[in-house]
Amino acid sequence: METRKPVDDWALDFDHFDPQWTNNPYPIWDDLRQRCPVAISSRFEDGGYFPTRYDDVREIAYDAEHFSSRRVIVREQKIKTLISAPPITSDPPEHTAARKLLLPAFAPPAIARLEPGIRAICRALLDAIGTATTCDGAVDYAQHIPVRVIAHMLGVPEDDGDLFRRWIHMTLVEGVRNPPVAMQAMLEQSEYFKAQVERRRAAPGDDMVSFLLKARVDGQPLTENHILGTLRLILIAGIDTTWSGIGASLWHLATHADDRRRLVAEPALLPTAIEEFLRAYSPVTMAREVVKETTVGGCPFKTGGQVLLSFPAANRDPAKFADADKVLIDRAENPHAAFGLGRHRCLGSNLARLEMTVAVEEWLARFPDFNLTPGTTATWSEGTVRGPRTLPITLNLGLRKA
């Protein structure tokens, strides 16, 4: 792995791949919010901007006139060709139809039908951990759940999970510093999905690929480019995001015995606790490209600049959330922005929330007493999706349920 130039001043040279950020970004954000609420960095082509205040993040998320979604990942070198993955990379007016098409498949009624399948996936993974006294909460549990759910939804083999995780790493981590790697991941995914599209053209099923083939916008079928872009989006956006959310929730409970015991005793509190984990450990940071010069929070944004749109930092703003730096599993008022704000609200939010809730519920039912293995630490992913990638857990047998 290459060594990165150490950050000199976070306000003028921020780097979301710096090890300090990876290990614990929150003190960095809290410091910036007080002394320089829009940090900048010349590490990213045409200039990087990093707002940390809730109000500024909100204003940018709502402003498609100055801030385009055509680049949703901040990169050291921009990829010259814009890669389309509708609707996440779409701006109005194209965004509206591309999103509307997908809404029913991800709305609460459709997602609720997936619950028994998600529960079965979680139980099978817990069965595999069996009577072990240690395990890895990220490697053995969290990472597999969204892979299997998304594979089912797309109608592709869940055994291709390693391939999916590789593409995600190439797109969101390696590719940020090395554009050809991001392009390679895009091409490999497109080839993979082209084969799936051909298969469904011959024999349609009850899956997303078949749905997109049947879909019409203004009476017209979707272009192949649109179909492949949307399939890549669902794959990339639906996996390590939720894997991170489940992992961060388990990390919290493995390191906060009082909260773990309270949730075991008061299972009705779980939905409130999950919203708080979403706020405090929001996995997903988005991006925008400045397409028209403007000012936000008193700071100028120049055309071409890349904005690191950090919903995680917004969710830690004490001007918006009382005790923003505390994780309160019974926080009743919590209008967090973990799933974004405005027209690009995470399409899969209902699915992600359901996966997180079921995953934690099933884990606590099986392993009510567990902790981070003494002498170890979790390791966290780099870049714009944050969650534990290794999470060494000791399972205490005394309280284990049969």
322 binds another protein (CB under 8 A): no
Q: Report the Cα 376 to chain-centroid distance in Å.
A: 25
- Minimal CA–CA distance to 386: which of 249, 257, 266? 249
Smallest gap from Cβ 109 to another protein, in A, equals: 6
221 binds another protein (CB under 8 A): no
Query: CA-CA distance, 393 to 373, in Å (whole number)?
Result: 5
116 binds another protein (CB under 8 A): no
φ/ψ of residue 287, rounded to 5 = -150, 160
Smallest gap from Cβ 107 to another protein, in A, equals: 4
Closest to another protein by CB, 235 vs 338, is 338
92 binds another protein (CB under 8 A): no
Of 12, 82, 97, 107, the one binding another protein (CB under 8 A) is 107
Side chain identity at residue 283, one-letter code:
P
233 binds another protein (CB under 8 A): no
217 binds another protein (CB under 8 A): no
Helix (H) or strand (E) holding 270: helix 270-280
Smallest gap from Cβ 338 to another protein, in A, equals: 9
Smallest gap from Cβ 361 to another protein, in A, equals: 15
Handedness of CA 41, 83, 85, 152 (dihedral sign): negative
CB 238 within 8 A of CB 150: yes
Closest to another protein by CB, 168 vs 346, is 346
- Minimal CA–CA distance to 332: which of 272, 258, 267, 249? 272
* Count of residues near another protein by CB under 8 A: 23
Q: Which two tokens stand for residue 37?
A: 């609420």
Segment contacting another protein by CB under 8 A, of 11-19, 98-106, 117-125, 253-261: 98-106
Closest to another protein by CB, 332 vs 402, is 332
Smallest gap from Cβ 344 to another protein, in A, equals: 8
CB 72 within 8 A of CB 315: no
Smallest gap from Cβ 346 to another protein, in A, equals: 9
300 binds another protein (CB under 8 A): no
269 binds another protein (CB under 8 A): no
214 binds another protein (CB under 8 A): no
Q: DSSP string spanning 277-317?
A: HHHHT--B-EEEEE-S-EEETTEEE-TT-EEEE-HHHHTT-
267 binds another protein (CB under 8 A): no
Of 100, 201, 214, 302, the one binding another protein (CB under 8 A) is 100
Smallest gap from Cβ 87 to another protein, in A, equals: 13
List of residues 6+ apart from 283 with CB closer than 8 A: 240, 241, 242, 244, 245, 248, 312, 338, 385, 386, 387
Of 2, 35, 109, 402, the one binding another protein (CB under 8 A) is 109
Q: Which of the residues 330 through 369 are near another protein (CB under 8 A)?
A: 332-337, 339, 341-343, 345, 349-350, 353
Helix (H) or strand (E) holding 51: strand 48-51
Segment contacting another protein by CB under 8 A, of 21-29, 99-107, 118-126, 146-154: 99-107
CB 3 within 8 A of CB 177: no
- Minimal CA–CA distance to 311: which of 345, 284, 351? 284
Query: CA-CA distance, 60 to 40, in Å (whole number)?
Result: 16
27 binds another protein (CB under 8 A): no
Helix (H) or strand (E) holding 306: strand 306-309
Smallest gap from Cβ 400 to another protein, in A, equals: 31
271 binds another protein (CB under 8 A): yes
Count the alpha carbons within 13 Å of 311 in the hemisphere toward its beta carbon: 26
Of 6, 108, 157, 221, the one binding another protein (CB under 8 A) is 108
Q: How many CB atoms lie within 10 A of CB 216?
A: 9
193 binds another protein (CB under 8 A): no
Q: Which two tokens stand for residue 35?
A: 């002394």
- The counts of H helices and E strands in the chain are 16, 14
157 binds another protein (CB under 8 A): no
281 binds another protein (CB under 8 A): no
Query: Look-up: residue for tokens 């007493």?
Result: 369
128 binds another protein (CB under 8 A): no
255 binds another protein (CB under 8 A): no
Where do contacts with another protein occur on this chain (CB under 8 A)? 100, 103-104, 106-109, 271, 275, 332-337, 339, 341-343, 345, 349-350, 353
